[in-house]
């Protein structure tokens, strides 16, 4: 069995290498989604701004990607939006996600790798739906302290940022009431195409759903026990061993330990270390299959200091850049681009320099 598992991993790696070689040099689309009505704390709508201010565009541009920054979307907060059951702002959240789905669909359809900057995690309903319109066989990797798979009937808070996955999952169709504002959403995701990493705050209803639907998930205890390398191996074996599929990465900054990412709305102690989070992003990039990504829940109003906000935003940029190929080995250039003694001279007024 161990030999077979090794063979499967090597075969998958070969296929991924072929995929990367055949794939044209891709471009990156950046979409800001300044939205906060999926939960009750204000400030998370400023997340896209502080992530941009942490030199996101400069970092990605230095990686030689064509960058298409489409700016921030404009969302309408409906004045008359009565709660549904105990779910606040259902129509506003539904409309915002419909707008985002259209933007992500356009970006993916144009051949870009699409990066959505949140905003709260309810936005994943729209980003994954928009991605699905062009990649119906996608798989979803959800990196988060929380499962976000409550339904309106199981959610303790009613907040839609804790219910995103339930709108997408086919296995929950008969458990979901008709939430106003979401009639356009089509549940398409199979439980076998979903993996969670980093869970450590799961509600009772969510735990039942995870177990009953047979969803693959890794808690922080699993990461402690198995190690992050093995977690990623099992993740890819689960999602990609039968078929190479486009990957949608939905990354909540609260997956990290609050010591690293303090400026977020629902921090939970005992989260990912920097190295674990970056390793996840590196391994996803190495598949050559990342097609769209969300980076959500950076809330600058919840940082105790400017340094706390900057640390959280900088961490978000690191995750995005690593997912797109930034390496801890340093920047790489082709060997034939190295300077030679005959290439490098300064101006006639400066000392001649040989490299």
Q: Is 161 a catalytic residue?
A: yes
Q: Is 86 a catalytic residue?
A: no
What span, in angstroms and rounded, lies between the C-alpha atoms of 241 and 312? 34
Among residues 45, 148, 193, 294, which one is catalytic? 148
Among residues 131, 134, 161, 285, which one is catalytic? 161
* Cβ atoms of 280 and 232 closer than 8 Å: yes
What span, in angstroms and rounded, lies between the C-alpha atoms of 148 and 323? 22
What span, in angstroms and rounded, lies between the C-alpha atoms of 228 and 280? 8
Among residues 45, 72, 233, 254, which one is catalytic? 254
Residues 6+ apart with CB under 8 A from 180: 84, 90, 91, 94
Q: Is 146 a catalytic residue?
A: yes
Supply the DSSP symbol for 97.
Answer: H
Q: Is 121 a catalytic residue?
A: yes
Among residues 112, 121, 131, 248, which one is catalytic? 121
Q: Is 252 a catalytic residue?
A: yes
Among residues 131, 134, 146, 248, which one is catalytic? 146
Q: Is 69 a catalytic residue?
A: no
Among residues 252, 257, 283, 294, which one is catalytic? 252
Q: Is 72 a catalytic residue?
A: no
Strand order in the sheet with 112-118: 67-72, 27-33, 112-118, 290-296, 247-252, 139-143, 194-199, 216-219
Instruction: Identify which of 98, 89, 91, 100 has the alpha carbon closest to the alpha carbon of residue 36.
Output: 89
Among residues 72, 120, 144, 257, which one is catalytic? 144
Q: Is 112 a catalytic residue?
A: no
* Cβ atoms of 141 and 248 closer than 8 Å: yes
Residues marked active site are found at: 121, 144, 146, 148, 161, 252, 254, 297
């Amino acid at each position: 069995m161990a030999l077979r598992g090794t063979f499967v991993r090597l075969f998958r790696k070969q296929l991924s290498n072929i995929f990367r070689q055949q794939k044209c040099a891709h471009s990156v689309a950046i979409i800001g989604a300044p939205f906060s009505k999926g939960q009750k704390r204000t400030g998370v709508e400023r997340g896209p701004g502080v992530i941009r201010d942490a030199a996101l565009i400069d970092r990605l541009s230095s990686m030689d990607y064509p960058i298409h920054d489409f700016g921030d979307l404009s969302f309408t907060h409906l004045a008359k939006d009565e709660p549904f059951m105990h779910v606040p702002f259902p129509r506003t959240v539904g409309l915002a996600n419909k707008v985002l789905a259209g933007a992500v669909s356009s970006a993916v359809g144009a051949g870009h790798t699409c990066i959505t900057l949140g905003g709260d995690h309810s936005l994943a309903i729209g980003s994954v739906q928009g991605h699905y319109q062009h990649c119906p066989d996608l798989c979803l990797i959800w990196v988060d302290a929380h499962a976000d798979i409550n339904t309106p009937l199981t959610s303790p808070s009613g907040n839609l940022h804790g219910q995103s996955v339930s709108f997408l999952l086919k296995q929950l169709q008969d458990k979901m009431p008709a939430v106003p504002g979401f009639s356009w959403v089509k549940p398409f995701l199979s439980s076998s195409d979903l993996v969670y990493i980093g869970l450590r705050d799961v509600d009772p209803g969510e735990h039942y759903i995870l177990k009953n639907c047979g969803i693959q998930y890794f808690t922080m205890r699993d990461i402690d026990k198995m190690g992050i390398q093995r977690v990623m191996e099992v993740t890819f074996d689960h999602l990609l061993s039968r078929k190479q599929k486009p990957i949608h990465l939905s990354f909540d900054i609260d997956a990290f330990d609050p010591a690293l990412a303090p400026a977020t709305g629902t921090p939970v102690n005992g989260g990912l270390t920097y190295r674990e989070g970056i390793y996840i992003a590196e391994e996803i990039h190495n598949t050559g299959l990342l097609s769209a990504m969300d980076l959500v829940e950076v809330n600058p109003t919840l940082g105790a200091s400017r340094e706390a906000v900057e640390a959280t935003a900088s961490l978000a940029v690191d995750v995005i850049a690593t997912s797109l190929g930034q390496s801890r080995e340093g920047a790489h250039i082709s060997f034939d681009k190295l300077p030679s003694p005959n290439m490098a001279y300064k101006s006639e007024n400066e000392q001649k320099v040989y490299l």
